[in-house]
């Protein structure tokens, strides 16, 4: 075979290969499988140190030593509560003084220096308020809630009462605006508590929701 024929054969083969490659189907990229969206309510991320807790077995006996001490504390401090009107102070005093029963039903911890609840903490508090045990209390329209705010011993007494009052107000606002509690609610800044400070570290940085039975 002459060199010219070899050259012609090579050119023909190259042309065929180019044509075959051009007509071959191009590989398609695999379509990624979409991640399924979880259904149902999702858990709320919140610091375990600030997760509100429902008291499992509240004591409503006004003669219980703890209840009696808290009752007396509230009565002694009513006149110093800066976030209540005179009318509210009088009604709060009467409600606590004449109470047939009272007891703590929810405890809301606060981080050091915090005055208001974060959004996630408010949602967890609402879930606690909507628990079966608390809802049974709310169903009684005559029942009164008193939110007792506390603070550590840092700062002056006036500063402690102010911080405690802001914590109580934050919890009270959450109860009214987010949990739709229609019962009468009194926020009370109690300041520092020696008993709570001795109980456990950080025990004084709380707000407690007390149910008061008129």
Cα–Cα distance measured from residue 140 to residue 59, given in angstroms and rounded to the nearest whole number: 18
Would 145 be classed as within a structural domain? Answer: yes
> pLDDT 10s per residue in the chain (214 long)?
455 554 455 455 545 554 554 555 555 555 555 555 444 434 444 455 667 889 999 999 999 999 999 999 999 999 888 778 899 999 999 999 999 999 999 999 998 889 999 999 999 999 999 999 999 999 999 999 999 999 987 778 888 889 999 999 999 999 999 999 999 999 999 988 765 655 555 667 899 999 999 8
pTM score of the predicted model? 0.75
Q: Is residue 104 part of a domain?
A: yes
User: How crowded is residue 184: how many other Cβ atoms within 10 Å of its Cβ?
Assistant: 17
CATH (domain of 182): 3.30.1330.60
Residue in 97, 57, 75 with CA at minimum distance from that of residue 148: 75
The DSSP code sequence of 92-118 is: HHHHHHT-SEEEEEEEEE--TT--S--
> How many structural domains does the chain have?
1
Asked, for residue 41, whether it belongs to a domain, the answer is: no
Look at residue 165 in the predicted model and tell me its pLDDT: 93
How far does CA 100 lie from the centroid of its chain? 30
Residue 113 lies in domain: 48-213
CA–CA separation, 76 vs 57, rounded Å?
A: 27
Q: Which helix (H) or strand (E) holds 136?
A: helix 132-138
Per DSSP, the three-state class of 49 is helix
Which residue in this structure is represented by tokens 């180019």? 18
Q: Is residue 158 part of a domain?
A: yes
């Amino acid at each position: 075979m002459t060199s010219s024929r070899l050259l012609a054969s090579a050119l023909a083969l190259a042309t065929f290969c180019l044509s075959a490659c051009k007509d071959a189907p191009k590989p398609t990229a695999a379509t990624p499988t979409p991640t399924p969206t979880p259904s149902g309510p999702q858990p709320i991320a919140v610091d375990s140190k600030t997760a509100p807790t429902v008291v499992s077995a509240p004591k409503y006996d006004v003669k219980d030593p703890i209840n009696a001490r808290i009752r007396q504390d509230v009565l002694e401090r009513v006149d110093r509560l800066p976030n209540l009107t005179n009318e509210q102070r009088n009604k709060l005093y009467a409600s606590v003084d004449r109470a047939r029963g009272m007891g703590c039903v929810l405890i809301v911890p606060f981080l050091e220096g915090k005055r208001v609840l974060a959004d996630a903490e408010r949602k967890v508090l609402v879930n606690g308020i909507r628990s079966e045990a608390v809802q049974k209390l709310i169903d009684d329209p005559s029942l009164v809630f008193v939110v007792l705010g506390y603070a550590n011993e840092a700062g002056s007494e006036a500063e402690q009462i102010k911080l405690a009052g802001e914590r109580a107000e934050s919890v009270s606002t959450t109860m009214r605006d987010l949990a739709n509690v229609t019962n009468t609610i009194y926020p009370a800044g109690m300041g520092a508590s020696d008993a709570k400070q001795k109980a456990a570290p950080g025990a004084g940085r709380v707000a407690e929701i007390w149910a008061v039975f008129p």
